[in-house]
Structure 1
Amino acid sequence: MPDDFLDDPLWYKDAVIYELHVRSFYDSNNDGYGDFQGLREKLPYLESLGVNTLWLLPFLESPLRDDGYDTADYFKVLPIHGDLDDFRAFLDDAHARGMRVITELVLNHTSDQHPWFQEARDPDSDKHDWYVWSDTDERYDDVRVIFTDTEDSNWAWDPKAEKYYWHRFFSHQPDLNFDNPEVREKMKEVMFFWLDMGVDGLRLDAVPYLFEREGTSSENLPETIAYVKELRAAVEERYGPGKVLLAEANQWPEDTLPYFGEDAEGESTGVQMAFNFPVMPRLYMALRRENRRPVVEMLDLTSGIPDDAQWALFLRNHDELTLEMVTDEERDYMYHEYGADDRFRINVGIRRRLTPLLGGERRRIELMNALLLSLKGSPIIYYGDEIGMGDDPFLGDRNGVRTPMQWSPDKNGGFSRAPHHKLFMPPINRGKYSYEFVNVEDAEADPYSLLHFMRRLIALRQQHKNIFGRGSLELLPVENQSILAFLREYEGERILVVNNLSRFTQSVHIPAREDLQGLAPVELSGQSAFPPIEDDDYHLTVGPHHFYWFKLVPKEDVQRDDTRRSGLQPLEDKNGRTRPVLPVAEGLQNVLVPTMAQRRGPEQIEALLPEFINEQRWFGGKGEGIEGVEVEDAVRLQSDPVVYLSVLRVDLPEDTSFYTLPLMAAPEPEASDILDEHPNATLAWLEVEDTEERRLVYDATVNPRFWATLFRWWQRGGTGRSLKGLYTAEPSEAMGDAPPDDVRLLTGEQSNTSAIVNNDYFLKLYRRLEEGPNPEKELLEHLTDIDFTFSPRLHGTLNFRRRHRQYTLGVLQEALAVDADAWSYTLSCTTTFLDRVENSPFPHEQAKNTGPSADGPHWTADRFSDATVPVWLEELAPELISFARTLGVRTAEMHHALAQAGGDEMRPVEAPTDAGAELGTRIRTEMEETRALLDRQPDRVSGHVPSDPAWSAARDRLAPLDDVPGTHDRIRIHGDYHLGQLLRAEGDIYVLDFEGEPTRPLEERRRRKNALRDVAGMLRSLEYAVLASWQDHADVDPDYEPWIDALLYWTETTFLDAYADTTGDAAFLPAAPARYSFLWAFLLDKALYEVRYELNHRPDWAWLPLHGLHRLLAPRDATASDPLDA
């Protein structure tokens, strides 16, 4: 290590930090616990890794009920680790190797075994006021509980004191009372004790929670910030610059920034470092979504820190991957993508190590570490992540990511020679992350191991430490959203960093700019010179999950071998899919279930399934590249004819999904018809070896006999046990016993497959399986229980149980007698209206005068008032006005019914106080994305784009959302509410398809939301339908525009009036004026999404949502034409 690292007061900006637990690292005396002597012996390894700062997790006296964060003595080392002399020897050795040392200062609380607390339990003691006591547990009701898995209150009763004591974490960790000056001074004494000894920095644990105030969240209080600054001032006065305070503040950026403080010269007055909690989970989101947006947003929000301050960046640490600083939607997404197994969920996070969290996929691991080491801040590497250590889900709390370091494939992973039962915690000794396969010794011997990659990458960063540690970061606005590109610059030196977040090769154009012209990118790891940057966009091709670090140097300073590189073009197979012949011993069972006659039978059909599945409409992973398909399980529903219900495991590059595939095998005479009518449903021929009889394997859902079989199975409450689990059909008591004589297949669905039996029953088979109850099952079950009239009754469910997991395979509902779906009905009503207009006695100007004002806003409070529809409109469009009125009533009644639900997953919950701010932040980002997309496609939207003032006005209108309180309940809602989900039957309206948006994760679809989301979705659908019908007439007579404007305005207003009248003062409807802000925001959110969707998929339809934007951004823009006018 260079000597200046130990002399530079800003050393923390150049730090590469290695986080370790003394107890977990190396046991020198074979007592089963790691110790300081063992850590000293392993310092050469850490030095060779290239890290220059060690962060030690708690090692003080403690009962170890919270891994040492429950301190019992601030001045003593826990004896299993050694003593103070052992610590001093380690500290001296580390400094001799040029390493800095950061230790823990647990300020907020102590162990309940600490002598201070034991003395404080006596109400007459001098230390009683060192802790927070109360005669009631009802104080500070606004403060959240952090450890929701184990604690239900922040108060705990002490029988000796006969009072409650306050604890923000576990109940065995009472909080210190920082309102007491004695406590504040005592903690300074603790801080000085360790800094005097030579420690270079202190991590301030749980610093946001030091003070408590009634009526607040008791987090980030001004008193807390002031005390942190007081600590910094005390450190500076005693030691001068160079001693570092690192804040653990798991907060949103705006709440974390005050901990740095800032004086008039732009220097910090609080901590010098803080963990960047908001950026960390968004790196994982960006990687999984293959989109840089989550990271870009948070990098922008965390950029404004003092000149001498520094973020501490990390990918994983000793705690769970915390999801506190994300939105509800983001948390649901992270749980679905990274914590699908409940064993890995704890509190508000995911307890997994880096490598298993990323599926063990080497490229993704390398990319994430490259981001860690190249973004602005000082990187932290958690012990063992450099070799790809795994975790143990069977260990309690967060211990699964705190297992012993794996040094070799020998006993106990080389961590200790103690008997296995004496180890403080078992090492990972099973599976692919066992110490037999993952350890330092083997990694050292393999030149291509992750360990060697990390050494090279750290060395590369340290060669350019000023740029990476102290330089600026400028994000580059490349068009490809899968590419995260940025410039790092320090004192005129530049490094261009390009990261591909996608699992596919990507093309990227770095925007042209004058200050880059004439510079040549030189790739840092191999010193390969790339073509110089000229006056045009600079093109790069980046491999899957690959990254580049380029130093930009004048082109005159490099010599480049101008060799041509060629690539291979994929060949397109134009021969069509063949249907091979599979030899079987008996029949269909041989290719689905391993049997004594044919143990390897499933492998035959598994080779054919990737191509087959990719052609099916219900497969949701098209374009992702199927890596493999396995027959996960299969159960036989019927013997004659043989019907199997199989569950397929589909492995994609970044995901694993499960799909249902019912299969039958048709004899040759019947097979020819299936080949002619349903060629995409066929898989292969089976040939029985003894008889040479052939049968065609195909998707059974194209055969009515399958549905008849499934219906009968439902009627009798059938059960089937397979090798992996139990399949059950659970009918309702109202299920009839009529035979399935009439089966009608339904076409047009994509994500699911359905049929109608006897015109009475609607059978739906879910193709993609996700763990947990399907929302449609939950909501229909509730609506049926309370006798809600205007949705189909639930008659049964089809379930698959595997161990403790449950999947909904399908539902059986009431089939409704249908006049028309609501979309078709609205189109027809609009057409009829326009036909009547041709012969209308009402003058043209009357439509203008009774429609929306051209000068006023289209979405204001008066849309919820009891407005009267003009007489002429009631005469010209009675059907649509009546329909809108009924639609508003039924929508409100549906929400009232859903709000009556009980149970932990269904009952209403109070909206968070920042609901408006959260929504506004997201929509502002989507506005920028939409504007950027419109700017890139001017030829498709010429004259239709809102002007800059209109966009600015929209942003201004979003601003009040930040102050809109969440004073309403969130309920389970429909979630995908549009006209296509409604049926008209017997003159009324019935609501279908309560699954939610099928492309979204199951957990997100089950989340409770603002009911106005459904209202906004229906309003947008009404506009789509009316304008789609108008489009046909516009070619004949564009002068109908005032009529269509008036029709749309009064249809929407009638719908809203009826909805508001029926909901009344329901708790789920935000009170005025918040309801108007939320509704307008949800409408804008939906319209922005529609613009992006149409431009990307149906550009000819883009005019339609753009018209919606014009109406939402009223008053109308005088500088751009309405899409209807084009």
Structure 2
Amino acid sequence: MDNNWWKESVVYQIYPRSFNDSNGDGIGDIRGIIEKVDYLKELGIDVVWLSPVYQSPNDDNGYDISDYKAIMDEFGTMEDWEELLEELHQRKMKLIMDLVVNHSSDEHEWFREARKSKDNPYRDYYIWRPGKDGKEPNNWKSSFSGSAWEFDEKTGEYYLHLFSKKQPDLNWENPTLRKEVYDMMKWWLNKGIDGFRMDVINFISKVPGLPDGEVKQGETYASGSKFFRDGPRIHEFLQEMNQEVLDSYDVMTVGEMPGVGVEEAKKYTDPARNELNMVFQFEHMDLDSGPNGKWDLKPLELTDLKENITKWQTGLNGVGWNSLYLNNHDQPRIVSRFGNDTEYRVESAKMLGTFLHMLQGTPYIYQGEEIGMTNIKFDSIEEYRDIETLNMYKEKVEENGEDPAKVMESIYAKGRDNARTPFQWNSQEHGGFTTGEPWMKVNPNYRTINAEQAVSDEHSIYHYYRELIRLRKEHPVIVYGDYQLILPNDDKIYAYMRNYKEEKLLVTANFSEEEVDFHLPEDISFTANEAIIGNYEGFEAGSYTGFTLKPYEVQVYKGV
């Protein structure tokens, strides 16, 4: 296995709108990030992934881009951005930017031109179709509810939008459009950035003819995903992107790929194929969803998590590379989701962090994860800001008459705004995020859960995360070791080994609120010589063949 800087790095995702507001307008900004680069350096971060800061009307919080080469006014100026890059590079940290090229904003100059007439030169930058029998061109559903097609009065045709109607899909079949994208990527790389996180990149190739999907009983529209997910030309497009752009730079690339499976991910991440370094997959994020999808809640079964993580750990080992995450801007807070955010908040947050950081792959920390920020329960739907959440509520409650209380329970558990409440810096008003009125309410628990408190307490989640990051730089087995599951059928303990050259690592994590006994299976050979990390006081190398784990306790031993 090749050694690469991006394999050995720890990435920190910043959602700029909610990170730190420098000018009191209630919206996080680039100067606010500059104020906190030392906080990130102290934590031990190697790479910052910046969620979109481009010019945007903000229909989907910046993922609807109207100018790929300009900074959103609310976030600051290009000079601010250049200063941020310089501040990070001075501290030996790298910066990766979001690349959002499955779609643009409908306010992008390309789309403004495209909708003027059917023979406009920019028309073919997007996907247009005439209606069929007085209806949409096909029956695909948008990811944000309703039809994936929007009728345009001026030219009498529909355009495709897999997300919001203000996010028209770009037509990757058009080589001129692809060249525009590659030129834009080079423009940013020449400014000095260190790579890209690519938004829903496995959606860019659509099956020709855009066939109808299968409509589930009781639904109006069909998931068309099998006709645009991992589409027929996706590998060709990514290889072309490498040839035209990426191969000329030493950068990190990660593709967000909803619905991708292990076999396809091997192709995307196999270095011999020149596509991507790693992918974000979502299978483990769907394990607590019922048959009707994300909003259909069910408890996580630990055996399902083991089976899934093991499939990816062993499937990509020696071929590609995993990205490791439990939180991001689209997911609820992990301590509220798979841990216990009240009585065992600190213990379960540390356990989940350890479980993740000891796996093979590049770990991603989402802002606030390192201080154990929790989910939010707003009193009314009016306090939510996320378009996906608001559209779902409207569809279920206002259109289908479902029980609002039940729908709110789903939002409390899975809504994207759980991750988007402003960062809690201190116990002052609005958690020190802003001196103004925040764009979204701060979680009221900021008085006790905040960065200032965490930094001052040597036993905090923050200092524990610092230790996880430090250990990764010290022990190659954590980065490069292969993975072996232990006790696959245990429904409370997740235990695994990492093996690299002569070294072994034993990780034992209790995912329950009960004390449980761990016994190393007799067929596993392991002799511990060092206690690496644990989340309870007084943890030391003891009888590694059998011990009792307290609620949410994790222990990691190194040995041979």
Q: TM-score of the superposition, structure 1-length normalised?
A: 0.42
Check whether the contact 2:354–2:554 (CA below 8 A) recurs between aligned residues. Answer: yes
Asked if 1:147 is matched to 2:119, the reply is no
Distance in 2 separating the partners of 1:78 and 1:308? 39
Letter in 1 for 2:556: W
Gaps of 5+ in 1: 1-7, 322-351, 533-537, 554-1126
Q: How does 1:178-577 map to 2 (within 5 A)?
A: 178-213=172-207, 214-215=210-211, 217-239=227-249, 242-254=250-262, 256-257=264-265, 260=268, 262=270, 267-282=272-287, 291-301=302-312, 303-305=314-316, 307=318, 309-319=320-330, 321=331, 352-357=332-337, 358-360=339-341, 361-362=344-345, 363-390=347-374, 391-393=376-378, 394-397=383-386, 398-418=416-436, 420=437, 423-428=438-443, 430=444, 433=445, 435-464=446-475, 466-477=476-487, 480-513=490-523, 515-516=525-526, 519-525=527-533, 528-531=540-543, 538-553=545-560
Distance in 1 separating the partners of 2:114 and 2:300? 52
1:10: Cα distance to partner?
Answer: 1.3
Letter in 1 for 2:261: P
1:244: Cα distance to partner?
Answer: 1.8
Distance in 2 separating the partners of 1:107 and 1:289? 33
1:668-722 deviation per Cα after TM superposition (whole angstroms, max 9, x unaligned) = xxxxxxxxxxxxxxxxxxxxxxxxxxxxxxxxxxxxxxxxxxxxxxxxxxxxxxx
Distance in 2 separating the partners of 1:302 and 1:251? 17
1:75: Cα distance to partner?
Answer: 0.5
Check whether the contact 1:267–1:309 (CA below 8 A) recurs between aligned residues. Answer: no
1:16: Cα distance to partner?
Answer: 1.3
Distance in 1 separating the partners of 2:75 and 2:303? 43
1:142: Cα distance to partner?
Answer: 6.5
From the superposition, tell whether residues 144 and 80 of structure 1 become closer, same or farther in structure 2 (CA, over 3 Å): closer
Asked if 1:165 is matched to 2:130, the reply is no
From the superposition, tell whether residues 552 and 260 of structure 1 become closer, same or farther in structure 2 (CA, over 3 Å): same
1:18: Cα distance to partner?
Answer: 1.0
Letter in 2 for 1:396: R
Asked if 1:130 is matched to 2:125, the reply is yes
From the superposition, tell whether residues 297 and 38 of structure 1 become closer, same or farther in structure 2 (CA, over 3 Å): closer
1:276: Cα distance to partner?
Answer: 3.3
Which residue of 2 is the match for residue 60 of structure 1? Answer: 54
Distance in 2 separating the partners of 1:68 and 1:312? 23
Asked if 1:28 is matched to 2:22, the reply is yes
1:169: Cα distance to partner?
Answer: 0.4
* 3-state SS in 2 of match to 1:386: helix
Letter in 1 for 2:334: L
Letter in 1 for 2:483: L
Check whether the contact 2:54–2:69 (CA below 8 A) recurs between aligned residues. Answer: yes
1:33-69 deviation per Cα after TM superposition (whole angstroms, max 9, x unaligned) = 3222221121111111122211110000000111000
From the superposition, tell whether residues 459 and 284 of structure 1 become closer, same or farther in structure 2 (CA, over 3 Å): farther
Structure 1 runs (4+) deviating above 6 angstroms are: none
Distance in 2 separating the partners of 1:478 and 1:9? 30
Aligned residue pairs total: 491
1:967-1009 deviation per Cα after TM superposition (whole angstroms, max 9, x unaligned) = xxxxxxxxxxxxxxxxxxxxxxxxxxxxxxxxxxxxxxxxxxx
Letter in 2 for 1:62: S
* Higher relative contact order (CA closer than 8 Å, sequence separation 6+): 2
Check whether the contact 2:306–2:488 (CA below 8 A) recurs between aligned residues. Answer: no
Distance in 2 separating the partners of 1:378 and 1:540? 30
Which residue of 1 is the match for residue 406 of structure 2? Answer: none
1:143: Cα distance to partner?
Answer: 4.1
* 3-state SS in 2 of match to 1:44: helix
Distance in 1 separating the partners of 2:137 and 2:356? 38
Which residue of 2 is the match for residue 741 of structure 1? Answer: none
Check whether the contact 1:112–1:173 (CA below 8 A) recurs between aligned residues. Answer: yes
Which residue of 2 is the match for residue 116 of structure 1? Answer: 110
Letter in 2 for 1:427: V
Check whether the contact 2:313–2:360 (CA below 8 A) recurs between aligned residues. Answer: no
Larger Rg: 1 or 2? 1
From the superposition, tell whether residues 404 and 376 of structure 1 become closer, same or farther in structure 2 (CA, over 3 Å): same
Distance in 2 separating the partners of 1:295 and 1:55? 28
1:827-853 deviation per Cα after TM superposition (whole angstroms, max 9, x unaligned) = xxxxxxxxxxxxxxxxxxxxxxxxxxx
Which residue of 2 is the match for residue 819 of structure 1? Answer: none
Check whether the contact 1:232–1:269 (CA below 8 A) recurs between aligned residues. Answer: yes
1:85: Cα distance to partner?
Answer: 2.0
From the superposition, tell whether residues 306 and 456 of structure 1 become closer, same or farther in structure 2 (CA, over 3 Å): closer
Distance in 2 separating the partners of 1:252 and 1:126? 34
1:243: Cα distance to partner?
Answer: 1.0
1:472: Cα distance to partner?
Answer: 0.8
From the superposition, tell whether residues 547 and 288 of structure 1 become closer, same or farther in structure 2 (CA, over 3 Å): farther
1:504: Cα distance to partner?
Answer: 1.8
1:475: Cα distance to partner?
Answer: 1.3
* 3-state SS in 1 of match to 2:272: coil
Letter in 2 for 1:440: A
Which residue of 1 is the match for residue 221 of structure 2? Answer: none
Q: How does 1:803-818 map to 2 (within 5 A)?
A: none
Q: How does 1:9-88 map to 2 (within 5 A)?
A: 10-88=4-82
Check whether the contact 1:136–1:164 (CA below 8 A) recurs between aligned residues. Answer: yes
Distance in 2 separating the partners of 1:380 and 1:472? 19
1:790-826 deviation per Cα after TM superposition (whole angstroms, max 9, x unaligned) = xxxxxxxxxxxxxxxxxxxxxxxxxxxxxxxxxxxxx
1:383-407 deviation per Cα after TM superposition (whole angstroms, max 9, x unaligned) = 1122222335331323443122111
From the superposition, tell whether residues 445 and 261 of structure 1 become closer, same or farther in structure 2 (CA, over 3 Å): closer
Check whether the contact 1:131–1:165 (CA below 8 A) recurs between aligned residues. Answer: yes
Q: Percent identity?
A: 31
Distance in 1 separating the partners of 2:166 and 2:300? 40
Distance in 1 separating the partners of 2:463 and 2:324? 21
Gaps of 5+ in 2: 212-225, 291-297, 387-415
Distance in 1 separating the partners of 2:15 and 2:488? 41
- Return the match for 2:93 from 93, 99, 105: 99
1:458: Cα distance to partner?
Answer: 2.9
Distance in 1 separating the partners of 2:300 and 2:70? 47
1:999-1027 deviation per Cα after TM superposition (whole angstroms, max 9, x unaligned) = xxxxxxxxxxxxxxxxxxxxxxxxxxxxx
1:369: Cα distance to partner?
Answer: 1.4
Check whether the contact 1:443–1:449 (CA below 8 A) recurs between aligned residues. Answer: yes
Check whether the contact 2:64–2:105 (CA below 8 A) recurs between aligned residues. Answer: yes
More helix by share: 1
Letter in 2 for 1:248: E
Check whether the contact 1:13–1:378 (CA below 8 A) recurs between aligned residues. Answer: yes
1:488: Cα distance to partner?
Answer: 1.0
Letter in 2 for 1:424: W
Q: TM-score of the superposition, structure 2-length normalised?
A: 0.81
From the superposition, tell whether residues 288 and 236 of structure 1 become closer, same or farther in structure 2 (CA, over 3 Å): same
